Structure 1
Amino acid sequence: MNPTIRQSYELAREQYAKHGIDTDAILEELSRIKLSVHCWQGDDVRGFLFQDQELSGGISVTGSYPGAARTPDELRGDLEKAFSLIPGKHKVNLHAIYADTAEKVDLDALEPRHFQAWVDWAAEQGLGLDFNPTCFSHPKAADGFTLSHPDETIRQFWIDHCKASRRIGAFFGETLGQPCVTNVWIPDGYKDIPADRLAPRVRLKEALDEVFSEPLDPAHNLDAVESKLFGIGSEAYVVGSHEFYMGYGLQNNKLICLDSGHFHPTETISNKLSSLSLFASGILLHVSRPMRWDSDHVVILDDELLEIGRELVRGDLLERTHIGLDFFDGSINRVAAWVIGTRSTLKALMRAMLEPAEELRRAELAGDYTTRLALAEEFKSYPFGAIWDYYCELSGVPAREAWLADVKEYEQQVQLPRGEEARV
């Protein structure tokens, strides 16, 4: 342990203890949190089933930074490097297009065996796995519709794909001994004003009913549904709106996914958590940074991330909330993006845990808004960084920006040669 970091921690611990905040207990609690780190940051959402297929469904990755993963082994290696720089033990979130198989197989025919290499790797690394059907970047989604498609044959293809995805998720959960969250998101919608808003939603509801008709053990698989307000190519109308999926999730006991990039630019998901927690069986978060709506920038420690952390901690919602990341930036080193986003999310949770929530509540209930505001402001400059550095050291990962040298070395030795190999 770096003696300076230990000394700084001891001084900070004393300051927090004056307000009844036990920093040792907080770090123990933080170590039990599993974030679901999205695999698709590592290869720009290309996957391995249809690597020549153009991105669709409103998904776009900008930037051409060298070193993107080209194979499952490269992607797993990049994830290992990222996890070696992130405190705690977490999960990896896979999309169906990341199947590791030499077999030519379409999405509706995927089986657990096509992901066995991922399961073996996750078990070896001590990681969990989450899953998503891939309802985009496919010829049968070329017109922008999947589970709500008016063509029954095409709609059935996507139903069968989502059914297969749930079975794969259950396999992950049973094999790895921790539930897999299988999240359904579709890009369905119209660019311009539709003549009929109801019919596609009727078809989507019926399709989802069929998708979820097979009972699966919730100890192995947890179903989630994810909404969107609008998207590229669906600016006027999205079938799976927030109201649709909130209603469906509440009625059918599904996790409701809130993606921080999927709402209006002036709308935040932090303010939705307390209300939704009163009625939903559970919540799935996709933490992103919508600089300009759903632009999926790398997560940083900004005001909204801090507010999400506060809501989860102060509302005692961590046990009922599954936290995943969802961003893809091809303009910077992709391993660094994972590290920055994941460490920032953990910092937000830690900062929330280090705040005097009980004191703030008591002041509020007493009508002492002066104390509430004064404490909230003063704690913004409390030495949370000393607690974070100590946690990193305890976890065996670099403190502060020291991790960046590791990424730069990895870039030179592993990632950049990939581009050289491609040119040979």
Structure 2
Amino acid sequence: MTKKLGLQTICTHVGEVKDEQFKGAVSPIYISTSYQFEDVDVKRYPRYFNTPNQEMLSKKIAALEHAEAGMIFGSGMAAISTTLLAFLKTGDHIIVQNTLYGGTSNFIREEFPKYGIEFSFTDGYEVSDFEAAIQDNTKVIYIETPSNPLLTITDIKGVAALAKDKGLLSIIDNTFASPVNQNPIDFGIDIVLHSATKYLGGHSDILAGAVACSNEHMNIIWNVAKNLGGSLSDFMVWMLERSIKTLVLRVKAQNRNAKKLAKYLNTHSDIKNVYYPGLKSHPQYKLAKSQMKGFGGMLSFELNDELDATAFQKELKLIKPSMSLAGVESTMLSPYKTSHGLLSQEERDSIGVTNGLIRFSVGIETKDDLIQDIEQAIKAVKKQAQVEA
């Protein structure tokens, strides 16, 4: 039935916990950590990811990503780390896209050597780059598109086809796109991951992660997840279910704003580079258009060399220089200090994350107000530069 429902209807109704007692319009919260064990169909326990709120929200996640099964975690990294450890063991090898979230990259670099798991970061993000990295012991290909923070676009269908042809598992981080803009399973990807802290939550007040995949793959993930203990409390599960009800409305508003802001920045004399897949000047614009329904609310840009990125962010009045992304409020940050701060300068330079790069998470504010804030901040930092000169 869920495949026949519209996306906004799935967000609003699929995965509700029915209030059988009082017939309330919203899901009740079941916060018990202890459930009956005898004479029940399901033996429930929070760490087993199967309390009523956990179970039903997982159905919503699955429906949004056109998957058979879903699972909610305590953070995006909990979802990522648990999934990777579920399918990799000592002696295995994983191919990882070179442009991706710094936390994922750091997890792989720091933890995998302890387990004897081998890994290779690709030289680029073309399908040929992934194929060139395949070894006899390769088990998984891991991609992220659009990537964090440079908004590079990877050919989802091409990578999925390569993985299937070589008998490998394909995994994607779909956080930046959200299920509104992109459904990787439709292109052949095996497992979809999300930092639900971002667009799924959307209000900068929920820390969560999500996985969507087949029942077969989910059983493997669950067997590891119950041991690692990365479950989410039922109150936060309820908060996330409530937030997803407005997912489509929020993301579409952010799509519109981001495209307008990207065009504005792209023609600005004080901006030297803009990274946004919705710009026709983006090198993967046609590819993005072929696999995305919308281009997303994320973009990155670099000021001209004489303008200091940190000073610029300090001058912002409306846009928040703040960690994380995808809230209804617009935020900016320097990836080299935050999302990619755990990487070395050499590692950041190798993937193009310069110290002057600014990541812009566009919110739902009025576009002209955001432009005005950027303009006043640029004027202020230019004045500072002139005084210092």
TM-score (norm 2): 0.30
**More RCO (CA 8 Å, sep 6+):** 1
More strand by percentage: 2
